[in-house]
Structure 1
């Protein structure tokens, strides 16, 4: 699970060397338009996010991947599964965020489908928590085969819980 290959992508365990890409992607206002807190504003916040992801891999053997095109070193985005508690239930949380230059090319859907395949063997429900206004993320989840199960307050805003 540390490295998963799809038709066009290599999904690999994040490393400390991914900090610059984490910050570039998460500090871009365009990638954070649906995030209640907005974009990350400083490198230390990006480092804390990456440290959490690194700890997931170390402690749980599962976490988010860095996404690259096959044969390339440039990080297109981040995503995958991590264990989380959503609405008082332990779940595998599906996440995806890409550089705007990677939008519209089907990479998020490719990652989501790969993550769902991995999640099938891990014995927990796979969910995606999506703000009601985040239509692009909703479309990815639905195309990957997920469906809306319920709406909950999450991060201070109403959010839909999609399940596989």
Structure 2
């Protein structure tokens, strides 16, 4: 099963990414205001976005779902990216695979409920494709806005631990999920 190339919500137009989306997606993702919780992850070169879009497209091709490019329905303006992507060292291993809910929206559009609207559409799409696969959202503990979105869409906090790979060893990773996770799934979430 595959999700349509375009999904509409009340205020958003969610589209499968295309290489032509790179400049708009880069402009949003390169904004330092979006990376206060993990500055070293901020992309600084457009080629980094090319790599992201290629990864998203592989997800669409292999799983029928991946990150969307997010536009406002009213204007068509690109305001970010997000959705559910399949993660796991072996995505065909049901003991370790997960849908990862993620998004990055323009700082100019924060606080309007758009991330929640996007997240609800992503959860519905993931359930249509593979409802047997848990959905997670992982984030750093000081990113309260993202935690709030996870909670609004029904995900529960299931794990907290030091954030692997974070240059600041004091940072804690939170894992939210739509159901209890196995040890293998939790290991996937903590990579």
TM-score (norm. length: structure 1): 0.91
For 2:68 and 2:135, locate their aligned partners in 1 and report how far apart those are by CA, in whole Å: 16
Please give the secondary structure, in 2, of the residue aligned with 1:30: helix
**Whole-angstrom distance in 2 between the partners of 1:34 and 1:163:** 21
Look up the SS of the partner of 1:141 in the other structure.
Answer: helix
Partner of 1:107: 114
Structure 2 unmatched runs, 5+: 90-94, 167-171, 179-191
Q: For residues 36 and 60 of structure 1, what CA distance do their matches in structure 2 show?
A: 30
Question: Could you list the runs of 5+ residues in structure 1 that have no partner in the other structure?
Answer: none
**1:163 pairs with one of 177, 185, 190:** 177
Shift of 1:35: 2.8
Bigger shift: 49-58 or 61-70? Answer: 49-58
Given that 2:11 and 2:74 are in contact with CA atoms closer than 8 Å, whether structure 1 keeps it comes out as: no
How big is the alpha-carbon RMSD for the aligned residues of Structure 1 and Structure 2?
1.8
Distance 1:103 1:77 in 2: 11
User: Does residue 96 of the first structure (1) align with residue 103 of the second (2)?
Assistant: yes
* 2:169 paired residue number: none
Cα distance in 2, alignment partners of residues 134 and 127 from structure 1: 16
- More moved, 153-162 vs 74-83: 153-162
- The corresponding residue for 2:137 is 128
Would you say how many aligned residue pairs link Structure 1 and Structure 2?
163
Name the structure where strand makes up a greater proportion of residues. Answer: 1
Structure 2 SS opposite 1:89: coil
1:90–1:36 CA distance, 2 compared to 1 (3 A):
farther
Partner of 2:150: 141
Shift of 1:69: 1.5
Distance 2:97 2:15 in 1: 24
User: 2:25 & 2:52 partners in 1: Cα distance?
Assistant: 8
Given the alignment of the two structures, is residue 150 of structure 1 paired with residue 164 of structure 2, yes or no? no
Greater Rg over alpha carbons, structure: 2
**2:68 and 2:82 in contact (8 A); partners too:** yes
The whole-number CA distance in structure 1 between the counterparts of 2:115 and 2:49 is: 21
Q: Is the CA contact (8 Å cut-off) linking 1:66 and 1:77 kept in structure 2? A: yes
Superposed displacement of residue 71, structure 1: 4.1
